[in-house]
Structure 1
Amino acid sequence: MDTPPTPPSLRLFDLLEVLCNAGRPLSLADAVEATGWPKPSVHRMLAQLEAGGLLAREPGGRRYTPAPRLLRLSESALGAGTQQSVRHAVLRQLVADIGESCNLTALSGAEVIYLDRVESAFPLRLELRPGTRVPIHCSASGKLFLAHLPPAQRAALLGSLPLTRHTATTLTDRAALEAELEQIRRQGFATDAEEFVEGLVCVAVPVPTGGPRQVRCAVALQAPAARMPLGQALQQVQRLGDAAQALGRTWG
């Protein structure tokens, strides 16, 4: 299968990767040889990266090397990777304690996106990889996010969303959904009673990443109802809350 061409907006990152992987300062001719791109294009991109403070020229002006701004960005990226490792470790421990799959999600526009997930050891499971997006109106995390949006923002979002039916228990009536959102605000957690996938239940609690009324991330337990009925899953709310507090601390 042919590799799709790199979008023009990412070419600068490709060039930075070439320069950093070289392990030594590169001249314009070196960069052209390493990338195979036209010399005028490489010259223009090097000038852009230099003007942006990401590259600097060595004494003599012929070779380019990473500038302090790029080094600071690298250090920040490494720090973010460390935090991600800590979050994943929290999820792994949660799954070890509960025995079922758990995930870390965030609100992304009108959908829920999986930031991280650890699967249970059971062969019967629904594998959802990080980056997966699920509907907001019929997932536990999604309803948790909806419940804590400012009223005007929630009304506008619900007014624009098709409340698509995925299973027999999906809430497609707006009044019924609003009533459940009010209950979620009172109780502090949300459930998915086989509303997105038949036979699958979920419980989600907020991860504290901002103000007391701001819920942008959630940690959730997901299990086959045949193995862990919703009532049994609800017994894990306190354990989920403890994990949510630990995850929240990784955001400072």
Structure 2
Amino acid sequence: MTNSKSDSIKVEGDTPAQRLLALLEVIADKNQFFTLQSLGDETGLPKPTLHRMLQQLEGSGMLQREADNRHYSKGSRLRRLAENLLLNDTVHGARHAVLSQLVEEVGESCNITALSGGEVLYLDRVETSEALRFYLHPGSRVPVHCSASGKLFLAQMPPAQRKRLLGETSLKAFTSNTLTDFGALEAEIEAVHQAGYAFDDEEFLPGLICIAVLATNPNGGKSNLGIAIQAPVMRMSREKALECLPALRRAADAIAAIDNGAMPQSNSHKQKIQEV
């Protein structure tokens, strides 16, 4: 069946390279051979444009032509790229292991987050085995002003930068506990800055409490990695969450150590090691 233009998968980008990558994402999602015609129907791209892009991907080894010379499949270079990503993604695997250990220790769902624009992005998450839980999968985004990790990211910013970011983000009320007054949020962020941890006390979802800390940036300066514990209020209070703080901080230190080990050493650092 031919897709209508409104149903077409968008292949967009500001540069030719970005559009090629967007097309490669469409192709990577396929589990069968495809033709120029079928891909054109799917994406809505003009045939001459699509033909040129496929030639570029074929020439780079990302795609290959099948025996009938009409069908395309993933090339050896693209397959090697996928294999290398899986084989060498040790940082994600190591972080996930720390997160799993934290869940086992505290008995509640835990996640790793980063600041992305004006939102908090879930990089990884491990769910508790408890029947009652809140499902927020990796890739989920939550508002910065009413999440525990978001408050920590805000607390690192100079006031002018924070005001500018929050000015572009509506302080929307998600629950009756959401801080929607800029002054009240500033006071909360100052308290977070002093304490080194933050709460989301039913501010984003009713019935959900969260406590978070930051993993230290191995290069010093600001961190863009938060680690959090989330639980229903019927199982966790603020007081009980604070009892989990030592375990949370140990997990944050372990993740910071993983990231530090994954950072390439500068030449001067290597020279110092060789001189010892």
TM-score clears 0.5: yes
In structure 2, relative to structure 1, the CA distance for the partners of 1:15 and 1:34 (3 Å cut) is farther
1: distance between equivalents of 2:207 and 2:29? 46
Contact 2:58 2:75 (8 Å CA) reproduced: no
2: distance between equivalents of 1:95 and 1:183? 27
Paired residue type of 2:242: L
Which is further off, 205-214 or 165-174?
205-214
From 234, 258, 274, the counterpart of 1:250? 258
Corresponding residue of 1:87: 95
Corresponding residue of 1:27: none
Residue 161 of structure 1: CA displacement? 2.4
Corresponding residue of 1:8: 11
In structure 2, relative to structure 1, the CA distance for the partners of 1:213 and 1:187 (3 Å cut) is farther
RMSD, matched Cα: 3.3
- Secondary structure, counterpart of 2:163 in structure 1: helix
- Secondary structure, counterpart of 1:149 in structure 2: coil
Contact 2:215 2:252 (8 Å CA) reproduced: yes
- Secondary structure, counterpart of 2:166 in structure 1: helix
In structure 2, relative to structure 1, the CA distance for the partners of 1:211 and 1:83 (3 Å cut) is closer
Contact 2:212 2:226 (8 Å CA) reproduced: yes
- The number of residues matched between the two structures is 236
Paired residue type of 1:204: A
The answer to whether residue 234 in structure 2 is matched with residue 226 in structure 1 is yes
TM-score, structure 2 as length reference:
0.72
Residue 7 of structure 1: CA displacement? 2.7
In structure 2, relative to structure 1, the CA distance for the partners of 1:31 and 1:177 (3 Å cut) is closer
Corresponding residue of 1:60: none
Q: Write out per-residue CA displacement over residues 54-111 of structure 1, whole angstroms, 9 at most, x where no aligned residue.
A: 5799xxxxx999577x577446522553332222221111111000111111111111
From 172, 179, 185, the counterpart of 2:180? 172
Q: Gaps (5+ residues) in structure 2?
A: 13-21, 42-46, 66-71, 263-276
Corresponding residue of 2:113: 105
Contact 1:101 1:117 (8 Å CA) reproduced: yes
- Secondary structure, counterpart of 2:89 in structure 1: helix
2: distance between equivalents of 1:161 and 1:105? 19
Corresponding residue of 2:148: 140
The answer to whether residue 202 in structure 2 is matched with residue 194 in structure 1 is yes
- Secondary structure, counterpart of 1:250 in structure 2: helix
1: distance between equivalents of 2:127 and 2:94? 17
1: distance between equivalents of 2:25 and 2:140? 25
Alignment of 1:26-37 (within 5 A): 32=35
In structure 2, relative to structure 1, the CA distance for the partners of 1:7 and 1:65 (3 Å cut) is closer
